[in-house]
Each structure stands twice: as structure tokens, then as C-alpha cells.
Amino acid sequence: MKIMLVLGTRPEIIKLSIIIELLKKEGFNYFLVHTNQHYSKEMSKIFFRGLKIKLPDYKLSVNKKSEIKQISKIIINLESIIIKEKPTHLIVQGDTNSALAGAIAGYKMKLKVCHIEAGLRSHDLEMPEEVNRILIDHLSDYLFVPTSVSKDNLLQEGINRNRIFLVGNTIVDVLNKNMKLSAKSRFLERFKLKKKEYLLLTIHRQSNVDNKSRISNIILGLKELSEYLKMPIIWPIHPRARKRILSFKINLPININPIEPLNFFDFLSAEKNSKLVLTDSGGVQEECCILKVPCITLRDNTERPETIVCRSNILAGTNPNKIFNITKEMMGHKNNWNNPFGDGKSSQRIISILKLLNNLNS
């Protein structure tokens, strides 16, 4: 077995970090391909070093391109690498364009495709990520699902249960390992904040930031909220969101404080110490649930329904009044829910399954 891992964004680096660490520890023959889908190569490098995993063996250059050009260029580059390296298995994580391109290249080149975080569904085909998830799952040979909900989604789509492995979510493993390091972060001191006396905001989805009406409504709801609560809202602003705010000529209220994107450990500190998080990120919904921080999702749907069921998260959409009222309600919510994403041993389970598959094929 020779394993090729394809990743391209910070969430992929984070969620695969312990997998990569264990592949090395267990003596697997593996190599990394970083597509550089993410907007900041330097920030990605910081994540590799911070998480103490080796830098990629191959680095592509596909950022700042249309989705079709990005995906097609990754596939073309991966074909050459596969011909050279001759891997037998290919691992992808999540629902990014890099993961989709990896799955397509692996499938076409007759590799065994392994999808980590398979089976997530928002049931909203207008989300590019939803289309990616479905395609990746149906191209994959082995599907590692985080919850029974994800497993049921795949079974309902006709995927053979023998290809599905319920392992939990690797983000639990990563948070358990790195919380002590995040405690050393000077995030609070740097921005003169006190624990539980600020709200954290993240918005990056195209459906929100590229739509003037939706982003304006979100900002209006947050303005009313910050004035009512008398709390600042800290916003590590995605470059795409910053660009749209400027082009739409939206003036941010004084209590909404845009800051530069944070490294992994500072962001964990920002999440853990916030009173509440408002986000359109699926990964942040998971992290808040695990960290026992209430979450408001600025979307009309979620591919993490487990967070709704356990009541760590509520969907608010982008209506200003709904954002205001739901957040007020959530502020008084007790943080006593159970984490539905596993026990922190997901990465080890995946490695054990890969070892078993390797023994069966040897």
C-alpha cells in the first residue's frame, strides 16, 4: 500500500494532521500533495508547522482560478504525480474542490479512493460543497463517516454498507491534542478582550458574502445585537468577505471589529473564550459543539444536523430580526449538551482500518 493524500485548504490540513502523524508513526509509505487551493500559501505553511506535520512533497499552484479551471488543473497535475509515484490508495478529506479533483483523479487512475468525513448532507444542491460531497462519496471505495446520520445518508443513496466505516470526526482528536497549546495563545491580550465578553464572527460562504442583500442583512442584525448586548463582535475576516464589503460599500458598525485571519491556535482560543459564535462554517459548528460554546449558524440549512439535535447550534438564516432574537435566546442557553462527534480516537480507527485493508491485500 502506498498512500497519496491530497489537500488544499486549512480545514483539510487541520483535520488530516493526526492521520498524517499516525501514518508516519505506523511506517506507512505515503506522500502529500498540497494544491494550494487556499488563498494564502504562507498561512498554510504556518498551519503545517504549527501542527508539526511535514511540509508537502508536491505543491501545486491553482488558487485564484474559476472552479472549473481549478478542478481541471488539479486533476491534470495529479495525473502526472500518480504516473510518477504509482500510489495504490488516495485519501481526501471533506468537500473542497481539491478533494473532488483528488477523487476524480484517483477513480480514473484506478486507485482505491478513501473519503474521510463522508456522508455529510445539507440537502441543498445550490451549495457547491454539497455537489462536491455527493460526487466524492460515489467515487470512493472506502467511506469514513463521522456519525450514524452520515452513515444513513449514504445507505439511503444506495452505497454498499461494506464500504462504510463509522469512525467519528477527526476534529475531536485534533482539538483534544491542541487545546493545551491554544491556551498559550495571547489572542485575548492582543485584542484587549476578556473571556466570555465578546462574540466571534466568521463568514466566508459565497451564498452570503457574494450576495449584497444577505451580507447587508447579517451586518444589520449584528449591529442591533452588539448594541443590545454591549459586546464587541470580533471578525477574523476572510479576504473574499473583505473584498465584497468594500465593493458593496457596506459600512461596518463600530462594535464589529474586522481583524486579519488567525492561525489555528489563536482561532481555537478565540472560539473557546467567546460568549457565542456566529458563523456560516460547517467546521466551526463542529468545533463550537465540542468546545461547549453556543453557535448561531447564519444559513438556512446545515450538513451538521447533529449540532441542531444536541442544541449546541441554531439556524438563524440572514434575517436581521431572526439573528437578533435567536442569539438573545441562545445567550441564556446552558452549555450541557453531549458531543455527538466521537471520543477523540477517530484518526486511530482510520489507521487501523487502513492496516487491515493492507494486510488483506498483501
Write out 192-242 in H/E/C secondary structure: CCCCCCCEEEECCCHHHHCCHHHHHHHHHHHHHHHHHHCCCEEEECCHHHH
How far apart CA 360 and CA 342 sit, in angstroms, is 27
Burial track 310-336 (b if 16+ CB lie within 10 A, e otherwise): ebbbbbbbbbbebbbebbeebbeeeee
Set of cell numbers at residue 138: 460515489
Tell me 299's DSSP state: S
Residue 121 corresponds to which cell in the numbers above?
448532507
Active site residues: 204
CA 170 to chain centre: 11
Q: Are 323 and 298 in contact (CB under 8 A)?
A: yes
In the beta sheet, which residues pair with residue 168? Answer: none
